[in-house]
Amino acid sequence: MLTELRNQQTQKIPSHSVFNNWDVITEGWYYVCGSKELTRNSVKSFKICGQHIAVFRNSKGELAAMDGYCAHMGVDLGIGSVVDDKIQCYFHHWKYDKSGNCVHIPAQKEIPKKSCLNTYAIQEEYGVIWIYPASEATQKVLEVPELKDREVLVSLGEPYERTCHHHITMINGIDPQHLKTVHNIQMDMDLNIEMVNEATIDIELSGTIPNERFIEKLSRIFIGSNYGYSMRYQFTTLAALTTLKQTKLFGKFDIIPVMNMIFSYQTIEPGRTKVVPIFITKKRRGIHGFLFSLLWLQLSKLAFKVLQDEDGAVYDNIRFNSGNLLTIDKPITKYIGFVNRLKSSPWSRVES
Ligand code: FES
Ligand SMILES: [Fe+2]
């Protein structure tokens, strides 16, 4: 049972047009699969936010995505094959080109009017295939500012689920209060939110590491007294975390690399959210550089694991209430406004 449906009479909570609304699938880039999972001349179907989609790769390596049920009698196109760079349906061999047009029907020459399929924008980035719930995307897959135009090494993490909507789990990045209360990081952090465009926000947090507890003193010796991290949210379907900002080795040398992670979010069905963590670092030169990059990816995974477990307790046990936010929660109020302005897509469970 959805938590939103509990205590409805005794603990009323505000509802929103988009925010925390399981019926609305907003525009945005959604994770399909790792690039390597779809080889040339192959087709697979996927359930993305409840929508059944067929994605195929032609002989040149190009990708295309369309609705996943054949326009003839509705067979799953994912069990078909790729013939002459077209998807061929398993059942009666109707063929679809990458624009979703049916171009061949073995049983007759004439192609019926209602035989084409909706197509969806698709992009390959960070070793992942991404899909957008419209034929054209309003912007490209989120760019990590620190990694712009750089060669990167990527490691896909294990996907996991949460019971709350991803609009809620993403509050994690803009709630510095919980760093103290949940993660026991006793730092006062300044937070700055900036709108990059109508679908992207940047959140920057920084502060001074206290000098009281043993762990704080130790941290100050190794990484200096300053610490910062930033988040970039795109459409609420992608979040890029850059951490270890402003740190200096032994407080002096500006050589500690930042740590980058990307989180991809999608709802599976009401009450189930899928999160895919993606670990990413720039590809360093030489064998030592390469090994360091690999080590850095492993350390990123370790750091993520620690925080994930602590945060999990919150995000699997919450019926989010936006009706009692305090002044200190202002970034969250701002974020809710941002989410409510996002456009709903045709994958939504209700017609907009
Ligand atoms: S169901 Fe696909 S060709 Fe008949
Ligand atoms: Fe957290």
Domain boundaries, the chain: 30-132, 145-340
Domain boundaries 30-132, corresponding CATH code:
2.102.10.10
Q: Which of 75, 79, 86, 114 to mutate to test the pocket of ligand 1 (most atoms within 8 A of CB)?
A: 75
- Give the ligand 1 atom nearest the CA of 75: 1
Q: Which residues surround ligand 2, an ion (CB under 5 A)?
A: 172, 311
How far apart CA 313 and CA 205 sit, in angstroms, is 23
73 lines ligand 1 (CB under 6 A): yes
Return the ligand number nearest the Cα of 105.
Answer: 1
CATH number, domain 145-340: 3.90.380.10
DSSP characters for 259-298? EEEEEEEEEEETTEEEEEEEEEEEPPSHHHHHHHHHHHHH
What ipTM was assigned to the predicted interfaces of this complex? 0.95
Residue nearest to atom 4 of ligand 1 (CA): 92
Report yes or no: 154 and 57 within 8 Å, Cβ to Cβ.
no
C-alpha dihedral sign at 63, 65, 71, 74: positive
36 lines ligand 1 (CB under 6 A): no
Mutate to test the pocket of ligand 1, among 73, 83, 87, 115 (most ligand atoms within 8 A of CB): 73
What pLDDT tens digit does each residue of the chain (352 aa) get? 678 888 888 999 999 999 999 999 999 999 999 999 999 999 999 999 999 999 999 999 999 999 999 999 999 999 999 999 999 999 999 999 999 999 999 999 999 999 999 999 999 999 999 999 999 999 999 999 889 888 999 999 999 999 999 999 999 888 988 988 998 888 888 889 999 999 999 999 999 998 988 888 988 998 999 889 999 999 999 999 998 888 888 888 888 888 999 999 999 999 999 999 999 999 999 999 999 999 999 999 998 888 788 888 899 899 999 999 999 999 999 999 999 999 999 999 876 5
91 ligand 1 Cβ < 6 A: yes
- Token couple for 183: 């993660």
Closest atom, ligand 1, to C-alpha of 93: 3
